[in-house]
Structure 1
């Protein structure tokens, strides 16, 4: 084709993307003309199949539609014009978030969070949240991770060296690009540093309104993955990449406000923990096992929740205790908050935040009792009458599917569909035979 006859296509300056969260927290979407995304909260048609795909695009059996599984139609998708931001380190490609509406709103992860926040609002409470994500960078690409055994993958850095200034200076160009990317995307960071583990970086997203915080979190994860590929690397937010290394967390900082005041703070009570905060944490602990699958949604998630890896093993709380599932961070009224440490980096931010807040609101409604705080390593203690956390995705999914509290907070249609998706995920992985099993059993059995 000659230059004269080559079609010019769409002006890149007019191009934008729309993205909507599936159950796994993956942004699915497409390019559109920018004016189609920025001109008010328009409703467009989008394939409902993304709510019935697993993470490898296989159709899972779900009851959300009466149509045959091979006959997915279009759903109503609301484009959220106020969410537009630049998502590329180079150029000005803009992404606009969207959410399912109409018949599919009850299944939409963002819609589930809005429902939970509305329940909090009925008690006169508004929520502020901030996510912390650990992710691992490898000097590999999509081809080499398929072709090479994991033992030969090369991480960005070798071995653990948490909070290393030397490594941060040595990789200041990469850190600078991440900071610029986040600034362009209106995702301000309050911290960025190397964490324990080879090639592990932790980013702390600045706190804000809860729904906006989840929006920022899901965009951040997608941006980091895309940015890494432009640098000839791969980024992963897996909860546990190797049994030799600590897991990767997705901790969530939460505070609640009422009439402009921090509802979690009372200077006259122990460590400033107000009655509402006490009830809120009591609810989080009471329903942690039932709701666990929302914060630990994958087969791999449960390999992080083991002793000695800076992750909880039971519903527990403590004052500034990082071994607990809920860590109270005492501070002045402007910063007094809790840290929900159950969540891994592999979360769907909308659903993990729904889990943390929804269980807390139940605690306020039920005047939930708060057990004694844990002093020392929570993994060495019997922490809660409900016992330890679920040990597998299968156990967590069963508890969620049978939970009347989950149905009350999240809706029966969502509980049924999400439980179905997690059972499918469990079955997709549990029958796989691993290299470790072959090494362990091949000769001796």
Structure 2
């Protein structure tokens, strides 16, 4: 649809309201519902949105180390501008018109710390080099027979999964909650987030969904909207969905693997494919992978952003711990999937389900482009077998504190993402580390209360 057609359709909507949203640094959609007349008045000029969304954490606690905004600035409005190409109707909310927005710094300049704007900037760089990035994301997440109130009442202890036991790829388990399962597949497609596949994973109440691939910005939009959409559809059926990377130490963690390939500017040729090369992987693909392996230690908080992320990145838990790659190997950081002209791609397996998709895709693309621009060679040998044991290129940082320090002290991160973004993002992760460090956990009470 054209811009004018979209505006006309909203104008003629039987509803008198429109839903708008932006994505904060943690990947949480923050939004509001406005009157249709208000929408029509701001569709060209933009609207004010309190910049506190970049001044507090996921729990709405204000940072004490913020630079961009805080008590020292008075938390003024920032300028947000609607992206009409994101137009959708929300099928589980009376088909209310829905749009995403970007933050601006002044009339024309994108706000450096806005996650969606960062992805647009790096995508523009790729296109300037003659590449069209096609991406997709897949998510694993757990679902429980709980509501926000019931879970709070039991203090987040022993939530009841919607299905019992360990039963991956189960047709039987999917039928237990078939109404929820089918609602996810069908309503998300109506919402413009088509799924390539949906199945149970191994673990009580866990699903995995693969989102259809598309150009990178649309792929990130779909991923962000998938996470919120899945939670909202779950709410409607008294189900609680969680995208925590690791909610239970005894169960597998939840991934958010990112699939990626570069095509020419005509979108006709997959530049990762070369039928004359070993495994049909082009030199470009190898440089792209070399860039990611080189940059991963300095961008890790963007693909593993929480304290909990690193509980997933442990040996033998279907998540990588080493700077490795392999052909169709699920124990390594980078799983190369060479095949046909259409399907050859890279899967970055470090990414967890708790990520901000805009930042995860920005990190993957920027690091890959780094390898291409610096003509890096894929000198690391492909891992055969167990990537937890067979590696020679080092390991990933093992905590958010360590990963954040590496990113903060790296010139590479600034080259990839810019000074303003890195400064802001690092401050938010340092805050996250401090919030956890001062808490007394149940583990500490059980271990030390009586004995020490």
| TM-score, L = length of structure 2 | 0.92
- In 2, Cα distance between the equivalents of 1:340 and 1:37? 39
Are 1:59 and 1:69, in contact at CA under 8 Å, matched by a contact in 2?
no
The range that moved more, 273-282 or 75-84, is: 75-84
Identify the match of residue 181 of structure 1 among 181, 187, 191: 187
- How big is each residue's C-alpha offset from its partner over 1:224-261, in whole Å with a ceiling of 9 and x where there is no partner? 11121111111100000010100000011101001431
- In 1, Cα distance between the equivalents of 2:44 and 2:334? 37
Counterpart of 1:64 in structure 2 is 68
- In 2, Cα distance between the equivalents of 1:165 and 1:307? 29
Distance apart, 1:93 and its partner CA? 2.0
Is 1:435–2:439 an aligned residue pair? no
Distance apart, 1:383 and its partner CA? 3.8
- How big is each residue's C-alpha offset from its partner over 1:242-282, in whole Å with a ceiling of 9 and x where there is no partner? 10100000011101001431110001111111000000000
Counterpart of 1:221 in structure 2 is 227
Counterpart of 2:97 in structure 1 is 94
Is 1:328–2:332 an aligned residue pair? no
Distance apart, 1:16 and its partner CA? 1.4
- In 2, Cα distance between the equivalents of 1:372 and 1:256? 22
Is 1:396–2:400 an aligned residue pair? no
Are 1:134 and 1:237, in contact at CA under 8 Å, matched by a contact in 2?
yes
Counterpart of 1:195 in structure 2 is 201
Identify the match of residue 28 of structure 1 among 27, 30, 35: 30
Identify the match of residue 285 of structure 2 among 277, 289, 305: 277
- In 1, Cα distance between the equivalents of 2:14 and 2:147? 26
Counterpart of 1:8 in structure 2 is none
Counterpart of 1:380 in structure 2 is 389
Identify the match of residue 342 of structure 1 among 342, 346, 350: 350
Distance apart, 1:150 and its partner CA? 4.5
Is 1:142–2:148 an aligned residue pair? yes
- How big is each residue's C-alpha offset from its partner over 1:22-42, in whole Å with a ceiling of 9 and x where there is no partner? 000001111013465478554
Map residues 307-322 of structure 1 onto 2, 5 A cutoff.
307-322=315-330
- In 1, Cα distance between the equivalents of 2:35 and 2:215? 29
Are 1:88 and 1:227, in contact at CA under 8 Å, matched by a contact in 2?
no
Counterpart of 1:75 in structure 2 is 78
- In 1, Cα distance between the equivalents of 2:35 and 2:388? 52
- In 2, Cα distance between the equivalents of 1:12 and 1:227? 23
- How big is each residue's C-alpha offset from its partner over 1:347-380, in whole Å with a ceiling of 9 and x where there is no partner? 0000000111110000001111211001111011
- How big is each residue's C-alpha offset from its partner over 1:370-400, in whole Å with a ceiling of 9 and x where there is no partner? 110011110113341xx21111111111111
Distance apart, 1:444 and its partner CA? 2.0
- In 2, Cα distance between the equivalents of 1:77 and 1:151? 39
RMSD: 1.6
Cα pair distance change 1:405/1:362, threshold 3 Å: same
Q: Which structure 1 residue ranges, 5 or more long, are not aligned? A: 1-10
Identify the match of residue 305 of structure 2 among 293, 297, 306: 297
Distance apart, 1:90 and its partner CA? 4.7
- In 2, Cα distance between the equivalents of 1:207 and 1:245? 29
Q: Which structure 2 residue ranges, 5 or more long, are not aligned? A: 1-12
Are 2:163 and 2:176, in contact at CA under 8 Å, matched by a contact in 1?
no
Are 1:294 and 1:347, in contact at CA under 8 Å, matched by a contact in 2?
yes
- In 1, Cα distance between the equivalents of 2:178 and 2:215? 30
Is 1:206–2:199 an aligned residue pair? no
The range that moved more, 240-249 or 138-147, is: 138-147
Over 6 Å off, 4+ runs: none
- In 2, Cα distance between the equivalents of 1:406 and 1:149? 38
Distance apart, 1:194 and its partner CA? 0.3
Distance apart, 1:149 and its partner CA? 5.0
- In 2, Cα distance between the equivalents of 1:165 and 1:398? 45
Query: Is the partner of 1:114 in helix, strand or coil?
Result: helix
Identify the match of residue 106 of structure 1 among 95, 105, 112: 112
Counterpart of 1:19 in structure 2 is 21
Equivalenced residue count is 432
- How big is each residue's C-alpha offset from its partner over 1:270-329, in whole Å with a ceiling of 9 and x where there is no partner? 111100000000000000010000000001000000011100001211000011111111
